Structure 1
Amino acid sequence: MATADGEAPRPEERQIEPLHLPTPEEIRGQDIWNNCAVRSVASGVMGGGLGFFMGMFLGALDNPIMQEEMTTKQQLIFQAKQMGRRSISSAKAFGIMGLIFSAAECVVEKTRAKHDTTNTVVAGCVTGGAISAKGGPKAACVGCAGFAAFSVAIEKFLDRHS
């Protein structure tokens, strides 16, 4: 901040802002948000919402196989059904993914008492393994490695832990 004549203010002229302590409501809000169950459910709901909208968008892009033989009304009905199916399917998948990842990351973070990339790797591995466990142990291992790598890449891209 410069003075009227363009010079930098002297140290004795600078204003010191008062210290702002959190209110009891802010502390309670932080305590609630630091609960792993609350954080996981919120992530699951947000993931479900994202998946719903992605499914609607991708469902709208599906073209019927016999498009030339369908009337406009039939095409609109087909598109609406596809959008509904895709949005529900994507909402479930993204919701479960968000819930598992957030729960795993929160538990690992609280157990280790550190906030770093290792938490992301473990949470990604748990999530990928859990999602692909139906395919057997080999699929679970590949899912673990793939989701952990993806999670670290996103973490580095967002640069959250620096």
Structure 2
Amino acid sequence: AERPWVCKPIMAAPPPSGTGEPAPPPPPLQYSVLLQHLVGDKRQPRVWDPATLGGIPCPPKSEEQKMVERVMESCPFKAALACVGGFVLGGAFGIFTAGIDTNVGFDPKDPYRTPTAKEVLKDMGQRGISYAKNFAIVGAMFSCTECMVESYRGKSDWKNSVISGCITGGAIGFRAGLKAGVIGCGGFAAFSAAVDYYLR
């Protein structure tokens, strides 16, 4: 008697025998043709329209706009802008330091005489003008040197600030001697590197 719980092996059905010829294999993919359409000569240029990406379409720049951009990116304009900014910053710094200095307006020949408000304001103005001139010269030298170094190297990185800071500090310090020039070069280079690292 057969046992119902005994599993019997199931034989796979033989494949149907066809009388026709086997199907031909698919043609191989020609990668050279595919590459020509992707990165080769047959690649179609794609025009990016900001309007399709959700942005605001911008019209092409006119010749006047291009000329203004060239002027603003030139070294003389950057030097002049840094000179004006340095003059304003130096004047404000000079007036601030004169305001907290207790010896402003005092006459060394008569130290016991109390200076008048006019003398104090005159001394503050002179110190502000002196600081403004120095800051303007340093700013113009640094900006012009950095622009020239960047144009020569063709790169915009922290090395431009370090090189221009060293040149500016060395040029200012060499008036007091070789040692002062070396110290000025190293000090300005370190300060420029720190400011560039903080701003970037």
TM-score scaled to structure 2, two decimals? 0.66
| Equivalent residue number for residue 121 of structure 2 | 80
Which of 178, 188, 191 aligns to 1:147? It is 188
CA contact (8 A) 1:67 1:75 kept: no
- The equivalent of 2:100 in structure 1 is 61
Higher-Rg structure is: 2
Unmatched tracts of structure 2, length 5 or more: 1-51
State the AA in 1 paired with 2:133.
K
Q: What is the percentage of aligned positions where both structures have the same residue?
A: 36
Q: CA deviation digits over 1:89-144, x for unaligned, max 9?
A: 10111001001000110000001111011100110001111111111111101100
Report the Cα distance in structure 2 between the residues aligned to 1:140 and 1:68, rounded to whole angstroms. Answer: 40
1:91 aligns with 2:110: no
Bigger helix share: 1
Q: How does 1:1-162 map to 2 (within 5 A)?
A: 15-64=54-103, 69-70=113-114, 74-159=115-200
Gaps of 5+ in 1: 1-12
SS at 1:132 equivalent: helix
Aligned length: 144
Partners in 2 of 1:105 and 1:62 — Cα distance? 35
Amino acid at match of 1:36: C
Mark the CA change 1:61 to 1:29 in structure 2 (over 3 Å): closer, same or farther: same
Change (3 A) 1:144 1:27: same
* Cα offsets for 1:47-75 (capped at 9, x unmatched): 111111111121122223588741xxx33
RMSD (Å) for aligned C-alpha atoms:
2.1
CA positional deviation for 1:78: 2.9
Higher relative contact order (CA 8 A, sep 6+): 1
Q: Which amino acid aligns with 2:173?
A: S
Q: Matches of 2:90 and 2:70 in 1, distance apart?
A: 28
TM-score, with structure 1 as normaliser: 0.80
The residue that corresponds to 2:22 in the other structure is none
How far, CA to CA, are the matches of 2:100 and 2:125 in structure 1? Answer: 12
